[in-house]
Amino acid sequence: MILARRTRALAVCLVCLVGMGLASCAGPTQRSAGENPARGTTSPAASAAPPGADAEPVATLDELAARGAVDAPLMKETLRADPAAPKTAEIRAERDLCVRAAFAASASVRAWFADASGDARGDAATGVSGLVPPRGPACAKKGEVLRLMVDAPANATMSRAVVWTSP
């Protein structure tokens, strides 16, 4: 009886410790510029600033490519699309393959892969940077052509992308 109580108490303590450990690993939440953490509001100075006034510079192609080891493991870099290139990047499948891309832009854009008929392959990603598709690679069969499509507003003066393929 005493052993059962001690075992139960030990189990409760262990569950609490694991819970606290997981909560501490979550890290702080991200806040927008000018947000007051005490009140959860944005300061008037931050709301009066023009959009993009304190925006970070757009990631370089080398910075995007460096994310490949984490964001596209076991995939090889296939294509770099820079501001001088057209708004779409084309990948021709010489064999069955899967593709994934990292993008960065000066304003929020919508990016996705589309096949020759215009059908989306995988989910679209929206924001100033991210991965396409966001939840894992999109695949194509031998002979198909996939295009990285970027729907950008006029104020998105710069957008870059790095595409990885496998196998």
Looking at residue 62, what is its pLDDT?
Answer: 93
Looking at residue 2, what is its pLDDT?
Answer: 65
Do the Cβ atoms of 102 and 89 come closer than 8 Å?
Answer: no
Q: Which residues contact 127 (CB under 8 A, 6 or more apart)?
A: 108, 109
What is the pLDDT tens value at each position of the chain, 167 positions in all?
665 666 665 555 444 443 444 333 333 334 344 444 444 444 444 444 444 445 578 899 999 999 999 999 999 999 998 765 555 689 999 999 999 999 999 888 999 999 999 999 999 999 999 999 999 999 999 999 999 998 888 766 678 999 999 98
Query: Three-class SS of residue 100?
Result: strand
Q: Does the domain at residues 61-166 carry the CATH identifier 2.60.120?
A: yes
Do the Cβ atoms of 81 and 148 come closer than 8 Å?
Answer: yes
What is the pTM (predicted TM-score) of this model? 0.63
**98 vs 61, 89, 105, 112, 113, CA distance in Å?**
21, 15, 23, 14, 11
**DSSP string for 106-127:** EEEEEEEEE-TTS-EEEEEEEE
Specify the DSSP class assigned to residue 39. T
